[in-house]
Amino acid sequence: MSQPSSPASTVLRRYALTGGIGSGKSTIASLFVEQGAFLVDADAISRSLMEPGEAVLARTVAEFGEHLLDEDGRSSVSICSRRTAASTAPPWRVSCSMTSRHACV
């Protein structure tokens, strides 16, 4: 026997959008938000953690070196990408050591 739908009996669902650059993740996320979904943007959280003055950026620079910073003291995506590509560690290991472990807690 099915239960009547009411706000008290609504099931909270979680969805994760993944895909490559330009695959439409932001477009789909916007459609979900238009329908009332709450969006947690891990990319935005990660970027904010890597702003100058943030502890995560300081720890990342301490671990990987100041060469990851651009002339304004900001984390450079292109430099970090080259670092990840050149690393002998699996890419997820380098990425997680930079921001993911802080963005997902």
Per-residue pLDDT of the chain (105 residues; tens, 9 = 90+): 555 555 666 788 888 898 887 889 989 999 999 999 999 988 888 888 888 999 888 888 888 788 878 888 888 766 666 665 566 655 545 555 555 555 544
- Give dist(CA 21, CA 32) in Å, integer: 19
- Give dist(CA 7, CA 56) in Å, integer: 39
pTM for the model stands at 0.57
Largest CA distance in the chain: 65
Q: Where are the alpha helices (DSSP H) in the chain?
A: 25-34, 42-49, 55-64, 77-86, 91-95, 101-103
- Give dist(CA 59, CA 64) in Å, integer: 9
**Residue 65 near residue 57 (C-beta atoms within 8 A):** no
